[in-house]
Structure 1
Amino acid sequence: MKDPNYANTAAIIGIGTSIPPYRLEQNEVFHRIEASCKKDSDVMRWARRIFRQCGVDTRYTCEPDFQEEAGSCRYLPDHDGGIVPTTSERMEVYRKASVPLAAQAAREAIAEAKLDPSSITHLMTVSCTGQFLPGLDTLLVKELGLSLRINRIPLIFQGCSAGLKAIQLAKGIVESCPSHNVLVVCVELCTIHFQPPASREALFGASFFGDGASACVISSAASGHEHIFELGKGHSVLIPESEDEMLWKVGDHGFDLYLSPAIPKLLKTFLREEVELLSEGRALPPLWAVHPGGRGIVDAVQEMFQLDDSQVAYSRNILKNFGNLSSATILFVLKEMRNNLIERGTEQADGVSLAFGPGLTAELLSFTYVHNVKKPYSARRDATYV
């Protein structure tokens, strides 16, 4: 007899990702930064250090202007008084590039979930790098052939943790009614906000952010799919007296980002208690999907919980090959993890996902990777954290 709780368990049954066509090698980005602030030796010394240590080799951008020679890029001109794109110009780039990129990731997720687009009941769109109306959610309904009566839920301007927040909200929607199918779509065009660095701190964003989109379908775990992530307990926490550590403001020439170098140290002051609350006294799981908000964040989590290199390899690989894609990143990490588990022939394994954003905010979610969902639900849950 099927466990009655099984039908109310939400799971990620399809994941899709997409990247724009223009590739940025880290050394090329550095040369453009160097050309734009060559008169400021202090900033350049800091830039060399950050670009060497941030853990990124390659990123992608929707903006072909970044393919220009150092000094010729409009976003990073090599002379004082160079006219950089205004915020309205950058928002027009976002409007044109975000929809096709998001639609590509969404189509992959829906196809993998083996669902007709008309069966999607909720669409949750996530982005913090651009805004326009009618919004991304409205245009995706037409692009994807979704129902005109679909429940649309946009999450705007909530930073890197918003992707995992959307998954948690979608989990609640599915648990409230097992017939619901929720499509989560995250798209971030971080590079359109690059501008000549005016300070050492402003270099952090330029050193590791990139562009990309990701999507997932969350439905009942009883849907009969294989290679899924069943979603368990999760919560969010706001860290007191930390609101100035991560700032993201609308400026005249793009969004102005400030990231404090103290963030990894701050994580160590509260994260252990939150993970213990999530795990309810059980041993730590083997799988860790950590949002790679920067190399220092991954280092801090690995050190804090004494994880081996293989447990944070998914996060480091995404950071190395794509950079930090803000809210879209966590699904890139989960997709790489799932593909590796399939390759290894893993039947079941438990995990925890962590993401961090302005506030400072931490999102935590436990999950179980399952190869074959035909196994009795109660038997699989008895085997957790092994």
Structure 2
Amino acid sequence: MTATAHINAIGTAVPPHQVHDAFVAFVRSALREPAHLRLFDRMVSRSGIDRRFSFIEPEVLPDGQLTDRERFYGLGDWPSTAERMARYERDAPALALQAVRALSPDIAAEGITHLVMASCTGFVAPGLDQLLVAQTGIDPAVERTVVGFMGCYAAVNALRLAHHIVRSEPEARVLVVNLELCTIHFQRTQDLEKLLSMLLFGDGAAAALVTAEPRGVALTDFRSAAIAGSAEAITWRIGDQGFDMHLDGRVPSFIANALRAERSRNDDQGIFRDLAPEDYDLWAVHAGGRTILDAVERALELPSAALGPSRDVLRRYGNMSSATLMFVLAAMIESHAGAAPQDDEGDLRKGNGKGKGIAMAFGPGLAAESFRFTMVPR
């Protein structure tokens, strides 16, 4: 019998400084067009975000100008890509270690056999995977894989790798780490679309243990889908002053239309696997932004509470790119720890166990990555 991979536990971490309010204040002070300022204020109020975190500590100067204590985003030229990568190399290992320690105080004692590291906001070699092994005492012979530059849906791709590893090696103990420092890529610009994109993003990391042990979240199967005609809707390109994100305002409508088509299609090759949305009890949706969550909810006619975990993560942390979905799953593991045992896979169609779920995330392509899961009570 083929082993089933389970996310046994997830540890999460964010940097120490809350920067959402400072970013909003900075943009408000910099926008020169009154119409742009009014629109920005309206979008801030509707963003669904209260806090975002960074290693960059805001500072207000005596003359009222807003910068940060280390002048990373100073009053003169903003940092080059090389300077931003130096910042990533300095701060990313510490955040990765914080997330791993939240998962387990002694991860080396967990007998980790494989390490999957996902990140799209920085590059360094030796890589974060190697640095983390050295910091934690994990066996240096651990099998390492890096998922790089895939964007927000990389959490699904990293979990897919862990899923396949455990299915082929039932004794495997896979550490999956998603880490993003989105705030090192803010751009100085008057382009309102870019500013509204930057309004979404914060920093965070998650570490998950994936094994065949039947506890936590049982991973069922994975599916990918590309959305036709949307290849340039989300792009993430490396420029001279950091990584430049483009997020087309049509992304929510692209997603909504694609999900409506999947719902109508309703065959065993689609995202919903010949089931209706109402057959699923739980929805772990990447909290890419309020408009994206609204688009998913409307397109699938979900009850208002269905995306509660995703909206809560968005409110508390913003969009942390690939780490975000893992925060949503961590909240679900915590809230379902005492749930009653669920039906087996053959009874998924019943949708009656409050533990049958589907997860999905969207990113460059425009593409959707998804998987089905079952909550396993402690």
1:253 aligns with 2:259: no
Displacement of 1:50 in angstroms is 2.1
Residue 153 of structure 1: how far off its partner (Å):
0.6
1-structure distance, mates of 2:365, 2:302? 26
Superposed CA offset, 1:338-371 (max 9, x none): 212236x444310000101101111010000011
Match among 96, 110, 121 for residue 102 of structure 1:
96
Q: Give the deviation of 1:273 after TM superposition.
A: 4.5
User: Does the residue aligned with 1:201 lie in a helix, a strand or coil?
Assistant: helix
Are 1:118 and 1:145, in contact at CA under 8 Å, matched by a contact in 2? no
Match of 2:280 among 257, 276, 285: 285
Supply the RMSD in Å over aligned alpha carbons: 2.0
Tell me if the contact between 2:341 and 2:377 (Cα under 8 Å) persists in the aligned partners.
yes
After superposition, the C-alpha distances for 1:42-97 in whole angstroms (9 at most, x for unaligned) are 43233222212211011111112x3445633156667xxx3212221111111111
Who is 2:315 aligned against?
320
- What is residue 382 of structure 1 aligned with on the other side? none
**Could you say what secondary structure the match of 1:124 adopts?**
strand
Residue 181 (1) aligns with residue 152 (2): no
Aligned counterpart, 2:149: 157
Contact kept in structure 1, 2:280 and 2:357, CA below 8 Å:
yes
Tell me, in whole angstroms, the C-alpha distance in 1 between the residues paired with 2:288 and 2:158.
17
CA displacement at 1:34 relative to structure 2? 1.6
Matched ranges for 1:224-303 at <5 A: 226=215, 228-274=216-262, 276=266, 277-283=270-276, 284-303=279-298
* CA distance in structure 1 between the partners assigned to 2:310 and 2:120 by the alignment: 21
CA distance in 1 between partners of 2:314 and 2:364 (Å) = 19
Residue type of the partner of 2:249?
P
Match status 1:86 vs 2:74: no
The within-5 A match list for 1:196-211 is: 196-211=188-203
Change (3 A) 1:125 1:218: same
Shift, 1:234, TM fit: 1.1
* CA shift for structure 1 position 117: 4.3
Structure 1 residues 31 and 180, CA, compared in 2 at 3 Å: closer, same or farther?
A: same
Partner residue of 1:166?
Answer: 158
The structure-2 alpha-carbon separation of the partners of 1:135 and 1:171, relative to structure 1 and needing over 3 Å to count, comes to same
- What is the CA–CA distance in structure 1 between the aligned matches of 2:35 and 2:78, rounded to whole Å? 22
Cα distance 1:273–1:176, how it changes in 2: closer, same or farther (>3 A)?
Answer: farther
Aligned equivalents of 1:67, 1:313: Cα separation in 2? 33
Paired letter, 2:293: V
Would you say the 8 A contact 1:250–1:256 is kept in 2?
A: yes
Specify every segment of 5 or more residues in structure 2 that has no aligned partner in the other structure, as ranges. 343-354
Aligned partner of 1:19 in structure 2 is 14
Give me the whole-angstrom Cα distance separating, in 1, the residues matched to 2:88 and 2:273. 42
User: Identity of aligned pairs, percent?
Assistant: 36
| Cα distance in structure 2, aligned partners of 1:279 and 1:273 | 11
Change over 3 Å in CA distance of 1:219–1:76 after alignment to 2: same
What is the CA-CA distance between 1:132 and the residue it aligns to? Answer: 1.1
Matched position secondary structure for 1:123: strand
Amino acid across the alignment from 2:80 = T
User: Secondary structure in 2 aligned to 1:311?
Assistant: coil
Q: Structure 2: how far apart are the matches of 1:123 and 1:77?
A: 37
Aligned equivalent of 1:43: 36
Distance of 1:320 and 1:67 partners within structure 2 = 23
Q: Distance in 1 between matches of 2:260 and 2:221?
A: 16
> For 1:19 and 1:238, how far apart are their aligned partners in 2?
31
Q: Would you say 1:335 and 2:314 are equivalent positions?
A: no
TM-superposed CA distance for 1:249, in Å, is 1.3
Gaps of 5+ in 1: 373-386
> Does structure 2 retain, via aligned residues, the 8 Å contact 1:43–1:199?
no
Aligned partner of 2:370 in structure 1 is 364
**CA contact 1:159–1:326 (8 Å) conserved in 2:** yes
Query: Which amino acid letter does the alignment assign opposite residue 100 of structure 1?
Result: A
Alpha-carbon distance between aligned partners in 2 of 1:117 and 1:126, rounded to the nearest angstrom: 22
Q: Secondary structure at the match of 1:13?
A: strand
Instruction: Kindly indicate whether the alpha-carbon contact (under 8 Å) linking 1:36 and 1:196 is maintained by their aligned counterparts in 2.
Output: no
Residue identity opposite 1:355 in structure 2: A
One-letter identity of the residue aligned with 1:152: R
